[in-house]
A and B are shown apart, each in its own frame.
Chain A
């Protein structure tokens, strides 16, 4: 990750330097001017680092810099060979030994034909020999000492201005591939007036960037705190989020708890006894077919503990619906398709009023998967059993719940559910959607009460929670409630609960 420079100057006038910059300026001032080599040496800072510090000081006008390119010459392997004598010098010594002349062929044999031709060419150029016919004749002499001395120095590298040779002479050596030329970029610095002034003014002040414990406890003496570019943006980080749908369910939970309802819990896998039979839904009712419920791939439940209940259920179904009740169907395991399976089971073990209970839980249906439907979703079911439970009181509870949810009014309509009579549907007005049914409710039928073993009327209601959540959270696709995408979770604005008029 790239760190953006955050340190900023107070103003144009105050050139607040970092400790590092100050140290370098002081070092440079000790020699006044020089090149980068010298700067590095005197400051003890490596050349690679000090170059940028010098540039920074230059941008503040404290140092003048000049960039120059110098040529450096280095001896090649060939060049180092010639330290023992240039080819044309060797030719002269051969000729001298033969009294000043020799046949060409002999020279070629002694020097090798290639070297011989180089030697002859250069010796001729220098005016040291003549070729007459097939004989090489010495006509003059000379020394190439200064060349050799240069090459020797060039084994370490020699700058042009320290060469001691003319440019033509150097070019000659380059042409003969005895030396190579390298380009060297160099920075020359010179401390300015302003630089000296600033140094004088800084004195012994310690410039603080990151504040450390020492600084807080006052160990460091005289100091100035560098300002920070508070307007630049920081790196991006993310908080951990609570899930928005779980928050919604918690809100519903709190509403029901505040209205005096105890929360209950139950299994997701139930025998049809609880999901249908005790709720007086006929065993050949279309809703119980395999295309409406999710059937568990598991042996049936062991209902021996519920023998008495089964007898009651069987009797009610046979006399009321007029068919022969099948206990096998009763014990078949399914994923519960309504949370009423949980509330009725709770009442089975809590038969004395007053009982106020609710559950917010998952239910399962064999449903298509699209923007409005899922095979697994949430429902809320509630029951109230008390002396004097009536339709009117039930309507009162329902009005209270809808008001607590934020709806100003609820429209009641007669409804039909297999296990309640009278039955009611409740509609609320949602902007953009019109009247939306949010719950179904009613008093449990006498058959249901008899089967469960209850002697008091029970008001019951059920609500599809996912749809309500979608209206609240302005979500149009039910699948978003269970999304696996963490980015969506990170960016969801928790404060986006719609206030529903």
Chain B
């Protein structure tokens, strides 16, 4: 979740009050945000990604005012028509655009810093790293034309990119600027990028970089905001967040709509539409269950969360949602806001009714019994990962296993089809411990199974290993037989080859005639390749098959 750095003095001055740090923390907690730390006049806040409007002090303060009662209910913005007109051509690689103007912002110390942060956080979250949505913010006073155009640029058109001292061709800009290298490939088509041109000057090349011409400085008073992207809904929502939140920084709260003529239609943005959602008192009660919540309580809560209240008909409340609350899509979202307004810790949790104990899973049943028997046989329990090294699996002769396409490390590049690799890895790390080393593990494996709809079955296996100065087959066979007998089954081993065992010292295990596993002494070259300097012997059991054997004792066959 995004972490933003906000100026404490900005927060206090926007709030009009000297809020203490403890109080700020508590209030932010109620708004799903968490204070991470402080540093020289700044506070680091982890903001939930569903409240993008709170990625700047203006947005945070707007919410705080509601909780503190300083300003409640719908925030009011004044919409006017701007003298800017936007003509949109076909830009297939980045189709949609919307623009807005915010007048007379309070551009005091720290505003620009936070503005840049706001923009970047939006880019990373809703913008999906600028692919879906990108934002440009401009100093309106530096634009001397009424008409702005959004079209594809020719590669030889020129601009002075923001932060560079000279004019560059568009293709030069892509190759030579950092932003060009990072974002130049997102919206390129036949070598052409989109551009916003006002008058005859390029003011922006989305999603790459703005022009130095319209740079926002300390003396900027009016902002022109552009949002471009591949999804009209997201573009417009982003513009709503930006326009309303930045308007909070001006005392007049004026937002000017830019008229737009585009292939998808004509109109003016931002719409500033207020959505209306009807929420029933019964529904709120059902979800929250706080015992008789009144219409007054509901109303108070809504207003403190900066939501508006329209008509109240009986038990139904019409909730008015401001345009920047894109996280609210239905009644349930409104109910959550009411819960937040109420402070969750003031709700008396309902005590759990007395019930019968739950049932453990089959896996737990069998695991518990086997665990105790293995400990009783003197084997120490180990617990390792399911992800193992692909290379090790190949060395040990396993060729059917689930590989990971994007492993984090080669040590964890495949899901183990057997616990034997984990046991051998354990023996390798423990080979210099006092002997004999006797270990076991009960855990999951992933095995190929064409009968399962995913093609893989998750199994539960038990594997045990013995390592000593000298090891014989009997050293592993004796505890194995003891285990099976203790479960009330008849053990038998039948000579059979298995890749990881020495030929002639390898067998299948049967419990009451059910084939349940394998046992044997580990091949010398595999021990050597794994870096194990002592002989070792291992057995492995498929616990689900063992369970079947316990449940279905077959008649004794000779």
Contacts and interface: CB of A to CB of B under 8 A. Distances in A.
Interface in A220-268: 236, 238, 240-243, 245-246, 250, 253, 256-268
B336 A392 contact: no
A303 B288 contact: no
B372 to A, nearest CB: 9
B48 interface: yes
B456 A267 contact: yes
Contacts of A368: 408
Contacts of A400: 351-352
A259 B344 contact: no
A375 B388 CA distance: 11
Contacts of A393: 289, 350
B514 interface: no
Interface string B324-368: 000001101101100110001101111110011111111110001
Interface stretch (A9-17, A60-68, A145-153, A482-490): A482-490
Nearest to A361: B444
Contacts of A298: 402-403, 454-456
A23 interface: no
Contacts of B128: 284, 286
Contact of B404 (A297, A358, A388): A297
A358 B358 CA distance: 10
Contact of B289 (A320, A335, A392, A486): A392
B32 interface: yes
A392 B290 contact: yes
Contacts of B407: 294, 375
Main secondary structure of the interface of A (DSSP, over half): mixed
A159 B434 CA distance: 54
A210 to B, nearest CB: 25
Interface string A412-428: 11111000011110000
A238 B434 contact: yes
Contacts of B9: none
A323 B344 contact: no
A40 interface: no
Nearest to A296: B402
Interface string B228-250: 00010100000000000000000
Contact of B361 (A260, A264, A412): A264
Contacts of B430: 484-487
A257 to B, nearest CB: 4
B415 A269 contact: yes
Contacts of A241: 375, 380-381
Nearest to A333: B454
Contact of A356 (B132, B355, B415): B355
Interface in A390-432: 390-393, 395-400, 411-416, 421-424
B50 interface: yes
B426 A445 contact: no
B406 A375 contact: no
B362 A257 contact: no
Nearest to B425: A484
A47 B505 CA distance: 49
Nearest to B467: A486
Contact of B381 (A246, A268, A322, A367): A246
Contacts of B458: 266-269
A271 interface: yes
B457 interface: yes
A364 interface: yes
A250 B369 CA distance: 13
A258 B357 contact: yes
A295 interface: yes
Nearest to A390: B289
A443 interface: yes
A90 interface: no
Interface residues of A, number: 89
A390 B403 contact: no
Given A259-B358, A268-B458, A484-B425, A416 B351 contact: no
B162 interface: no
A121 interface: no
Contact of B408 (A262, A366, A445, A485): A366
Contacts of B345: 411-412
A400 B350 CA distance: 10
A335 B404 contact: yes
A305 interface: yes
Interface string B356-399: 11111111100010010011111111111111000000000000
B437 interface: yes
Given A400-B352, A412-B345, A486 B437 contact: yes
Interface in B429-475: 429-430, 433-434, 437-439, 444, 446, 452-458
A319 to B, nearest CB: 10
Contacts of B351: 396, 399-400
B460 to A, nearest CB: 9
Contact of A240 (B378, B402, B429): B378
Contacts of A305: 453
Contact of A421 (B333, B425, B446): B333
B358 A262 contact: yes
A270 B456 CA distance: 9
A457 interface: yes
Interface centre among A269, A333, A358 (most CB of B within 10 A): A269
Contacts of A296: 402-405, 456
Contact of B344 (A297, A390, A413): A413
B30 A414 contact: yes
Given A320-B329, A413-B30, A259 B429 contact: no
Given A260-B358, A298-B455, A489-B381, A265 B363 contact: yes
A369 interface: yes
A335 B444 CA distance: 13
Contacts of B231: 322-323
A265 B361 contact: yes
A264 B351 CA distance: 24
B19 to A, nearest CB: 19
Interface string B33-67: 01000000000000011110000000000000000
A481 interface: yes
B88 interface: no
A362 interface: yes
Given A240-B379, A296-B456, A376-B412, 20 more contacts: A243-B380, A259-B352, A263-B359, A295-B405, A296-B402, A297-B405, A298-B456, A335-B404, A356-B355, A356-B358, A376-B387, A392-B347, A395-B350, A400-B351, A411-B345, A414-B336, A421-B336, A484-B430, A486-B433, A489-B382
6 contacts: A243-B381, A262-B359, A269-B415, A323-B231, A366-B406, A487-B430
* 3 A-B pairs with least C-beta separation: A260-B355, A390-B289, A422-B336
Interface of B: 29-32, 34, 48-51, 125, 128, 132, 231, 233, 286-290, 329-330, 332-333, 335-336, 339-340, 344-345, 347-352, 355-364, 368, 371, 374-387, 402-409, 412, 415, 425-426, 428-430, 433-434, 437-439, 444, 446, 452-458
